[in-house]
Structure 1
């Protein structure tokens, strides 16, 4: 009898175990990023690691989902990104695509994801059009955008006397949008835009572009570009003696990785707007320490922090909905969650246009002698509250908000 009971218990355990395994809901996430190009340092492999950390943290508290993660290198080309996304969605059952390296790619994929009823979460691409005329029920814009950064930085600079601007602009959607939005802020606050010059993505030589900016006699040269383009422009400007000559460089989108690459000697005094800084509080510091151990000692950029937070919030919404197949329903669940306490961004909410809102920070890069530890780079000048940090809902012309 004991033998029979033991056998029955073993069989029951096996059956229950099998039931648990079957009960797990499959979810597949694709990190589509710049894995080796000009934006790879602040997104790329680090964003992939951030997504892994989010999945691990979610699984630590829930066993209801079976989460698979894949990654792809978009190479900052819309055709390559589109091909990867279509293969993922149509042949490999990917439910959500995250990171997205450039604005053009994000805008191109938004329609595809809507048509397939999946989810797109942009944590690196900047264009505010994602939550404007191009908004969809399936797209979320996490972390930052061109509006938040152009307004936060440009407004502060103009109010401190930087009235005459000239723009050095990356010649694609992100750069041109950033230039327009920052220029509007400059003019609205009594300043003037003297002109602009555009350069290709991953430009090899900034000499001619900076000579034009220098010749403009503008007080402020606004850098409407990102990644290695921003770094190389700042380095070349130093070689030309532009800052020594009295003109000031303003990076409209700078990541902590850019400051690290430049060094505090070259970057000190720069002002910028950021959604995340690793040394803000105990939660941001704890995450940064975990992340750095798996990312060659580097702390997370705001985009990488956004990938972590967005992945975690997405998985919680899938768990609530019960499956990942209806992307619009999952996004609606994220929106309906109301204001929540995000571990890295604090009080956070998802608007109907897909804009994720939270506080932003205006920071100034420290002088070398002010830095007391690795990556101790920023002084927080001001906290920009969530209701002022992003474009007002009524101004975006998102059809979902009308």
Structure 2
């Protein structure tokens, strides 16, 4: 459909009356936010991620001076062909300098190939596949939020070592779900546990009964849901409808977001365990950002939306520091400068493109535990970056210990 590749300009130029910098191509820095704007993952990132990027531009206004910034937004509908058509046009025709979010593993892998070909920058939000920073890594491709390993490493270690050592997986039948299960199964085995089964559901199903009944029949101590957004919400709602919240099996979400809990309600999601990259109520800095975001979006930001604020800010700081939007100097500055903001503290970009930041182990509160709206998580612990991500020595990224490695 023609409307599927339409682009919206959200942020206009700043300080347009001042002289433009000669090193800024077309006198404008253009950022493209592409994700699921209206489908099952739109609450996870969607319009909220676009708002977060625009907030970053606004907050950088005093530092940008005469540098103009535009933000364009598009919906890939979770279809790689649509997503790549948009991004290719952005690079070739619309002169977009960097893309953000993407929020779909299959689309992200295609974009990664494009940025290598076109020498552009991509900053990825909720992308699960470990191939993105593994065998398909790029010197200008940065994973800002998580990958499948980081999402499952904390819960798998903690639960398996506590005696919850048999696992069953209910997963989405596409790249994200399959990669998540692959990483989780390896970690379960490495920590002395056992996988007793797995089942994959179609992308757009609304009936999870057969998959849940298989999980129940497995007698696994832990059932991990390797899906997200509306898929996870519907899975958990039906989990409760089938009486599976009796405590016999521990539910774990491989990818849980604040918006999922809000959609499901605390009464349904209570007790669900997960790992998250960020939580709005963690500290004064996160709360300050979240309240500004809420004023405009009427919902607290998810970790994905917060990550895109951080990524856009870091990119624009590099543009200011280098006085150009040329890919190589901007990417080099991004790699050499730690990230310190409300999203991550003392985080660095590893050679494979991973932003090395800490994660939180959380459990969804019960309605009685929640003290105010959006007070959804109990933080049970912190997983240090070095433990959350797979070690660099295990990576198959050609940039590690090879020509062009940023770690040298």
- Scaled to the shorter chain, the TM-score interval is over 0.9
RMSD across aligned C-alpha pairs, in angstroms? Answer: 1.5
CA distance in 2, matches of 1:344, 1:122: 15
CA distance 1:66–1:219, shift in 2 (3 Å)? same
From the CA coordinates, give the structure whose radius of gyration is larger: 1
Tell me the residue number matched to 1:226.
Answer: 228
Tell me the residue number matched to 1:138.
Answer: 140
1:181 maps to which of 163, 180, 183: 183
What SS does structure 1 have at the residue aligned with 2:187? helix
CA distance in 1, matches of 2:328, 2:382: 32
Asked if structure 2 preserves the Cα contact closer than 8 Å seen for 1:27 and 1:94, the reply is yes
Name the TM-score, length of structure 1 as normaliser: 0.92
What SS does structure 2 have at the residue aligned with 1:201? coil
What SS does structure 2 have at the residue aligned with 1:288? helix
2:206 maps to which of 204, 207, 212: 204
Q: Bigger shift: 74-83 or 205-214?
A: 205-214
What pairs up with 1:365-380 in 2 under 5 angstroms? 365-380=364-379
What SS does structure 2 have at the residue aligned with 1:80? helix
CA distance 1:18–1:368, shift in 2 (3 Å)? closer
Unaligned segments of structure 1, at least 5 residues = 1-16
CA distance in 1, matches of 2:296, 2:18: 35
| 1:381 Cα deviation from its structure 2 partner | 0.7
CA distance 1:101–1:19, shift in 2 (3 Å)? closer
CA distance in 2, matches of 1:141, 1:90: 23
CA distance 1:244–1:321, shift in 2 (3 Å)? same
Tell me the residue number matched to 1:330.
Answer: 330
CA distance 1:175–1:288, shift in 2 (3 Å)? same
Deviations 1:201-220 (A, max 9, x none): 13221111112212212121
| 1:353 Cα deviation from its structure 2 partner | 0.8
CA distance in 1, matches of 2:264, 2:126: 21
CA distance 1:321–1:22, shift in 2 (3 Å)? closer
Tell me the residue number matched to 1:104.
Answer: 106
| 1:18 Cα deviation from its structure 2 partner | 6.3
Tell me the residue number matched to 1:7.
Answer: none
Deviations 1:161-214 (A, max 9, x none): 211111101111111111011111111111110111111213221111112212
Structure with the bigger percentage of helix: 1
Deviations 1:292-334 (A, max 9, x none): 1111x21110100000000000111122232223x24322211
What pairs up with 1:345-384 in 2 under 5 angstroms? 345-384=344-383
Tell me the residue number matched to 1:12.
Answer: none
Deviations 1:237-264 (A, max 9, x none): 1111223272221111100111111111
What SS does structure 2 have at the residue aligned with 1:175? helix
